[in-house]
Amino acid sequence: MIREIDEAILASLRKGLSGLIPPDGIVLGRPAQVNKDMVFVEVPEFIIEDVCMGSLRQDMKEEAEETFDGDGKSMRFKLSRAPVNQLLLVEYPKGTARSAPDDYVVDMESGTVKFREPPPKGKSIIRIKYDLPRPVGEKSSLRFLLTYSIAIVAGSNEDRDRLTLASIEALYRDMPVLVRHGVEDMRLIKGYSAPVDGDRTLRQSILEYSVQTTLEIETRIPPMEKIEIKKM
């Protein structure tokens, strides 16, 4: 459904079931031929939690970035344009972020940044990013509630139970990784057994997970190419 989350769940299962099922036996979607020792992941249904989608819209501002040289004495630096919001990033030296008001204060009207202590000497050692007043687009957020169905197929009840528990443990253990890939919440709703297309030699367990994530949609405003003013 949402590729990044699909791939993260597959990667977690492949790692957790390593040595029990080959990686190519753990797939997205139901395969045409179901064999034993196989896991397939599907999203049979989903809903969008926020009915009023417009309530989560926000403007995307044009960003500017400037660098300044440090002389070890100067504490005040003037931006070429006045920012519209609080500064997005202030750092010196490279990779060391500074925070307001502990490290600096900013005068929004004049676009001046004043540090508590003078930054050290260095070429382009100070880096500042900020928003400009001109909007370049709009960003909307849609909150999805997805149902993930994970089918574990094995030739015996013992193998099926072992693979089922290993799958649960793998996803539980990898929750911090899944969060980094956009999973905001993941809960095991239920698990049950079911026949495999009438094949009496195979057994399958179904794990149903509820997964919450937010999808951001960007709409860019194209720049004006030409403005014509005609005399009536």
- Tell me if the domain spanning 3-53+140-220 has CATH number 3.40.50.11810: no
Residue of 192, 147, 148, 164 lying closest to 37 (CA atoms): 164
pLDDT 10s digits, 185-221: 999 999 999 888 777 778 899 999 999 998 877 666 6
Residue 51: is its pLDDT beyond 50?
A: no
Predicted local distance difference test score (pLDDT) of residue 224: 52
Q: Percent of the chain beyond pLDDT 70?
A: 86
Tens-place pLDDT, residues 1-13? 899 999 999 999 9
pTM tops 0.85, yes or no: no
% of the chain exceeding 90 in pLDDT: 62
Query: Other C-beta atoms within 10 Å of 65: how many?
Result: 10
Q: List pLDDT tens digits, range 96-107.
A: 999 999 999 999
At 109-122, the pLDDT tens digits run: 889 999 999 999 99
Domains of the chain, by residue range, sit at: 3-53+140-220, 60-136
Mean pLDDT of the chain: 87
